[in-house]
Amino acid sequence: MKNKGLGRGLDAIFGLDGANIDVKSTPMSSMREIELSKIIPNPTQPRATFDDEALTELADSIRTLGVIQPITVKRNTDNEYVIISGERRWRASKAAGLATIPAYIREVNDANLHAMALVENIQRQDLNAIEIALGLQRLVDECGLTQDSLAEKVGKKRSTVANYMRLLRLPDEVQLALKEGLISMGHAKAIAGVPDEKQLALLKRCLKKALSVRQAEEMARAMCEAPKAKAIEEEQEYPESYTRLVEQFEKLFSQNISIKRSKTGGGRITIDFASDADIEQFVTRFDNL
């Protein structure tokens, strides 16, 4: 599941308008071929995982076409360089058997090396929402940025930045589901909008019923509009026919549907709704059958 890139290029962020981050104005050097063995990853790299299949594909491309886009590094010692951006290309080049890689050497102080890497990674398309959120949080914590200045630096609305960082307050189970692509950021935002004690219940229903984002939002709204309603109960073990009946109802209704059976064998079927408009939608759906 792809994420939209955040913001502008590094030159715009750390160039003349980068007043809040002290990066030396010395321009990049001319491109050089640097031995791969002299390059090390940035220890503050925000990317937590690298897709093995994607790296293999990139390595195959590099064997055929070479490294098209140079990486960017910082000189650590005379014989060592730290990656600012381009760790995937560096890893794939090693896998392709290259001895050197084209690189720009950027003059940047140690205090802001990780800031450049964070912003560069946040802008990439293949980070998941949690990795982006963690990167944004680190920029706030380690670079002294407010959410307003951070939003300006990455070229996004403050509300967008706030929504990402809000994900970090979700339960670990929700964050893991988002990180693994089981739910989208839209689902996570809906989950974040319900009381803490109901978030895992909503996650469970999103996963079990494969709810769309809209359906998750509707269920979240129903939870919030009925704070005194009885909490969602764990589903009892009912005969398979009960499950099939609920599945049939779910083809018509996105709202929460539950069956409760009494000890005597009777019971009731409940279909939640949040407004009169929902009732009108029910009628329309039946009319179209």
Residues with catalytic function: 87
46 neighbors 116 (Cβ within 8 angstroms): no
Helix axes 129-143, 110-122, angle to 10 degrees: 150
107 neighbors 24 (Cβ within 8 angstroms): yes
58 neighbors 93 (Cβ within 8 angstroms): no
Residue written as token pair 């491109």? 31
Apex CA 252: angle with CA 251 and CA 256, to 5°?
90
Residue 7 backbone phi and psi in degrees, to 5 = 85, -160
